[in-house]
Every structure is written in C-alpha cells, then in structure tokens.
Amino acid sequence: MIHELSGDILLSGAKAIAQGVAPNDDFMHGLAMQLRERMPALYKDFRHYCQTQHPKSGGLWTWMSSDGHLIVNLFTQDGAYDHGKKPGHPSLTHVNHALHALRALAQKEKLQCLALPRLACGMNGLDWNEVKPLIEHHLGDLGIPVYIYVTYQKGVKANEPK
C-alpha cells in the first residue's frame, strides 16, 4: 500500500530507504547530501563501488548502515564519470528500470516496508505527475507499506500507517 506523507524521511520507521542518484554522484544535493553528512561511510563506499564497477543508469546499489538501515541507491540519472563532471539529468526510462530493480530487491529481501522521496523530482528533475504512476505500477501491489515523502519537513516525524 502506498502512502504519501510529509515529514523527514530520515526519521522514518522503514528499515529500507531508497533515493535517486547518478552513477558516480557527488551526493551534494537533497537527500543524498543529508545521507552523506549523517553516514560518511555510505558515500565513501558508494564512490568506491562506482569507481570499480562503473554501474549503469537504471540499476541500483544497496548499503547497510551500522544501525540496520538499508539504503537503496537507485540510478535514476545519467552518470558523471568524467573528472569534475556533474551528474546528468534523470530520465523516466532510468526511473522505470530502477523501480523494476527495487521491486525485485524488495521481494527477494522480503522487505517489511520501504520509504522513498519524490524520486528524481528534485533539482533539474522530472515531473512528479509522470514519476508517481511508475512508482504505483512497480511498488503498489508489493503488499507492504511504501511511504513516499512528498513534502520534506526537517525534523518532523511523519505518522506512518502500518
């Protein structure tokens, strides 16, 4: 069941939090920046993974925090592999493929719930009215709570239905 919420996604009770990034992203904006500040090891491991594996847009990479949170990095944007290059723009094709991979991960790992922001709709992002149907298509019938944080409110814990 999909629930749209307002609040701080980092205060979510979900043990899995997904975010949209670019391969080799610098984590300097939005949720990625907050995660980089709170979990420096995530960013270090992410950069190492990207430099050694060269992931493609449309896939995902997961990282487990020391407190048991699974951070799912969805490659929704074009990569930033040239030195000093900024991440590219997101695309609906990349979002669609990444959500397909997220669905498979949720089923394989038997996730109990999942939280994500308005995926790929931040800076230079996509139109939420185009992204939301993709989320509903891929995650709507998983049989677990899927919390979409549509409005960010720093420090505010959302009332997450079970």
Token pair for 64 = 């487990």
**pLDDT digit string (tens) for 125-161?**
999 999 999 999 999 999 999 999 999 999 999 999 9
The residue range of the domain holding 57 is 2-152
Domain assignment present for 66: yes
The strand pairing partners of 147, in sequence order, are 3, 115
The strand pairing partners of 70, in sequence order, are 16, 64
pLDDT of residue 55: 96
Residue 94: CATH number of its domain:
3.40.220.10
Confidence of residue 7 (pLDDT cuts 50, 70, 90): very high
**Contact yes or no for 22/77 (Cβ under 8 A):** yes
Domain assignment present for 31: yes
Q: Scanning the structure block, which residue is given the tokens 């610098």? A: 26
Exposed (0-12), middle (13-18) or buried (19+): which is 95, by Cβ within 10 Å?
Answer: buried
